[in-house]
Structure 1
Amino acid sequence: MRNLETDLIHKGEQYNETRAITPPIYQTATYIAGETIDEQLADATSTKSPFFYHRHGNPTNSQLGEILAKLEKTEDALLLATGMAAISTAVLTCVVAGDHVIAQHAHYAAAQVFFKEFLPAYGIEVTHVDQTDIANFEAAVQKNTKLIYVETPSNPNLEITDLEAVAQLARNNKIFTIVDNTFASPINQTPRDFGIDAVVHSATKYLGGHSDLTAGAICGSKEFIHQAWRKSLLLGASLSPMDSWLLLRGLKTLTLRIKQINENALELATWLEGQQGIKKVTYAGLPSHSQHALAKKQMHGFTGMLTIELSGDSEQIGYSNAQTVLKQLEIFANAVSLGGVESLVTHPASLWNSVQQREAGVKPLFPLGLLRISVGIEHIDDLKADLKQALLSLI
């Protein structure tokens, strides 16, 4: 059996039917049928057929599926146009009107809207729980619960869900489980090791790694991927040929990028804990993280994601300080998304709180002085220097 680093470059090469070292971009919507009607019918009905019509699949997506299944230790994988396409397709493969879903309080903002607004509008009940205590999941189980959907570490507050406990609870109650593994990446965490049924990714992030594509992935058993593929044919979120090719290219350096990102983030988070102007640093790799022991148990590395809460005697001062720091940063770009080779920073309250506060009287999820940081692969000394000069503007 070959090692992961080798498979990231070579697995699925049988789908490249040319003599080119780098697979071509299959920039075509349709393919010439086989010699017989039966052959065309087989292509039309085969799961992820690479040579029928682009909505069904293409050769690059087939190669990507083999690589991602290897990464997540699943039988198969399906590629889609965005992370939200992967999330919505995977969830809708599991539930119909009258079913019940258990989700967390903390999820990616668009996923939160999907669970809070979209699913209930179609007759699917959703219970949101605090992910830090398995007792909350246990208390939420109903007779019609069909799915437990979790995200760990969560976006953006970096809370950890006990994957083994969730998987055991689900097995005992015959409930399907899905984990959004985007923040961790399969290099740092493989949910299948703990009994989780399926995994979704925004492949736009760590898997692509260069902020130049959008893509989503679902990883699971062959049967689940077949059902998800059938659902995707109707939902229609096909991954474009160019983005497919870019994702295949990005995956080749995944282990190298994640290793450097992990190292940079741990050193940066440790250093930030001693800097003036910062009230709190949250990073799963720090002993100060309230769930550090659980993170160590189920993660091989702690990702490039961390948050800092800036000092301030009031929320308004925290907000003003966040604005000041964002304006002063030179290397860190103020931009959404994460997981690229470049370091990014964003203001969660401006994004998540506005979504959540559609419900009148709800307390804001995140402090106004909180910044989410996605650490890249730049030299660590330059990252420290950039943050230091920005923090000095608060003194």
Structure 2
Amino acid sequence: MNKNLEAARSECAGIGTQVVWAGEQVQHPYNATQTPIVLSAAYGYQDIDLWYDVALGKSEGFIYSRMSNPTVATLENKLCELEKSESAVAFSSGMAAISGVLHTFLCSGKRVVSTRDSYGGTNKIFEEFLPRMGVEVTLCDTLDAEAIEHEIAKGCDLLYLETPTNPTLKVLDIRRLVAAAKRVSALVVADNTFATPLNQNPLALGVDVVVHSATKFLSGHGDVLGGVVCGAESLMAQVRHYREINGAALDPFSAYLIIRGIKTLALRLRQQQQSAQALAEYLLTEPLVEAVNYPGLPSHPGHAIACSQMRGFGAIVSFVLAGGMDTVKRLLPRLRFAHRAGNLGAVETIYGPARTTSHVENTLEERQALGISEGLVRISVGIEETGDLLADLQQAFAFVHRELANEPASKFSTVLTERHTEVET
């Protein structure tokens, strides 16, 4: 099918239809209705001249699956339509995608500006690996837009954004920071994993390159690793070249699983966001909770910005428990409808403290410097019934309260009294 016609059909459809059909309105071999898994490592040609033209990119086709693969190409086309980009490149994991982009566009003497609040693996690249290459890295207070703009104005080759952030759910004003970056001709990269293409399209807000950990909401079932980068073909050609030579290509079976997962993304996210809002509102009333992070709460510092650039608030909630890790160890084992694991975006609800999930790569001191409390717990809300998830969390807190009530000299007694007063008022 003509690619322009395919894109036009997708744009006319609702998002629930787009996730099903985007990138797949083509004629598959044997008239299959589903994208086939093409496991061939190489692709042969009788015509030597055609083979050469395909190898040079002058003719369409496939040469070697580290460079391109039919199943992976379908996934890339799907993300192109959902993110409204010219081109996309799939990687073997989300971190492969992030590091691939940063290593493609940065080298010795370049300067990158970003925020302190970013996924722990990304933070490690900024703090540990890029400086080894001679790249100057400046990390700013995430919520200080003026400070970020000031650092950009001092000279910036690449601005890296993550919004909402993992795991504190801070929201950055994409339009404002893009404008500052464009004044110095900096490339802008944004991690859109938490928002997904359904809730936010950074390219439409002026961002140059969008990255996704496809492991998370895109696949949605916790059974595959993958990453995708989207942007203009002129930029993606450079990213694709880096991937081809460095080898972090996505395998076709994983691509198939991600394609299959994306088809239910709209349905999943609808239920997940409904439950996330309910859990966040309940957590605000819980005396053992010191802070709740969810952009859908009117009290969230980034709520107004989220409303201006997002279509939904996502399925991740985080909260800080009084008593830190001691309370975490009491609460999490009592949950019945939850995995305690280091993943997110799956159909099952997943709980985990930052020290064993998003920032497991960081030391205690590094987490403290990033403002990551030992009592911070991230919830990746699943597709279970909202009432069941809410009741489960309530019974877990009730258990912890009963335990603490049997400890007269508990260090939480004063904290709980103060928090009860705050909640009541």
- What is residue 337 of structure 2 aligned with on the other side? 331
1:288 aligns to 2:299 (yes or no): yes
Residue 145 of structure 2 is aligned with which of 131, 134, 138?
A: 134
Q: In structure 2, the residue corresponding to 1:79 is in which secondary structure?
A: strand
Deviations 1:164-216 (A, max 9, x none): 01111111110000000001111111112211111000000011111011000
1:366 aligns to 2:339 (yes or no): no
Residue 321 of structure 1 is aligned with which of 315, 319, 327?
A: 327
Q: In structure 1, the residue corresponding to 2:42 is in which secondary structure?
A: coil
TM-score (norm 2): 0.87
1:5 aligns to 2:16 (yes or no): yes
Following superposition of structure 1 onto structure 2, how do residues 1-395 of structure 1 map, counting pairs within 5 Å?
1-2=8-9, 3=13, 4-13=15-24, 14=26, 16-33=28-45, 35-46=46-57, 51-141=62-152, 145-311=156-322, 317-350=323-356, 355-357=361-363, 363=369, 365-395=371-401
Q: In 1, Cα distance between the equivalents of 2:203 and 2:310?
A: 12
Q: Contact between 1:146 and 1:175, CA under 8 Å: does it hold in 2?
A: yes
Q: In 1, Cα distance between the equivalents of 2:81 and 2:262?
A: 12
Structure whose alpha-carbon radius of gyration is higher: 2
Deviations 1:305-333 (A, max 9, x none): 1112223xxxxx32111111111111111
Deviations 1:219-278 (A, max 9, x none): 000111111101111110111111011011111111111111111111221122223422
AA partner of residue 264 (structure 2): T
Mark the runs of 5 or more structure 2 residues left unpaired by the alignment. Answer: 1-7, 402-425
AA partner of residue 373 (structure 1): I
AA partner of residue 19 (structure 1): N
Mark the runs of 5 or more structure 1 residues left unpaired by the alignment. Answer: 312-316
Q: In 2, Cα distance between the equivalents of 1:252 and 1:354?
A: 31
Q: Contact between 2:199 and 2:311, CA under 8 Å: does it hold in 1?
A: yes
Q: CA deviation at 1:367?
A: 1.8
Q: Contact between 1:182 and 1:206, CA under 8 Å: does it hold in 2?
A: yes
Q: CA deviation at 1:301?
A: 0.5
Aligned residues: 389
Check 1:85–1:353 CA distance in 2 against 1; reply closer, same or farther (3 A cut): closer
Q: CA deviation at 1:50?
A: 5.3
RMSD value, Cα:
2.0
AA partner of residue 385 (structure 1): A
Deviations 1:140-171 (A, max 9, x none): 12665210001000001111111001111111
Q: In structure 1, the residue corresponding to 2:320 is in which secondary structure?
A: strand
Check 1:123–1:58 CA distance in 2 against 1; reply closer, same or farther (3 A cut): same
Q: In 2, Cα distance between the equivalents of 1:106 and 1:15?
A: 44
Q: In structure 2, the residue corresponding to 1:186 is in which secondary structure?
A: helix
Q: In structure 1, the residue corresponding to 2:373 is in which secondary structure?
A: coil
Deviations 1:85-115 (A, max 9, x none): 1101111221111100001101111111111
- What is residue 314 of structure 1 aligned with on the other side? none
Q: In 1, Cα distance between the equivalents of 2:284 and 2:273?
A: 17
AA partner of residue 128 (structure 1): L
Deviations 1:337-367 (A, max 9, x none): 1111110011113456664448689646322
Q: Contact between 1:76 and 1:222, CA under 8 Å: does it hold in 2?
A: yes
Check 1:62–1:281 CA distance in 2 against 1; reply closer, same or farther (3 A cut): same
Q: Contact between 2:354 and 2:360, CA under 8 Å: does it hold in 1?
A: no
AA partner of residue 77 (structure 1): A
TM-score (norm 1): 0.93
Q: Percent identity?
A: 36
Q: In structure 2, the residue corresponding to 1:371 is in which secondary structure?
A: strand
Report the structure, 1 or 2, having the larger helix content. 2
Q: Contact between 1:268 and 1:384, CA under 8 Å: does it hold in 2?
A: yes
Q: In structure 1, the residue corresponding to 2:198 is in which secondary structure?
A: coil
Q: Contact between 2:337 and 2:392, CA under 8 Å: does it hold in 1?
A: yes
Q: CA deviation at 1:18?
A: 3.1
Deviations 1:110-146 (A, max 9, x none): 1111111111101111100112222112221266521
Check 1:117–1:61 CA distance in 2 against 1; reply closer, same or farther (3 A cut): same
Check 1:287–1:361 CA distance in 2 against 1; reply closer, same or farther (3 A cut): closer
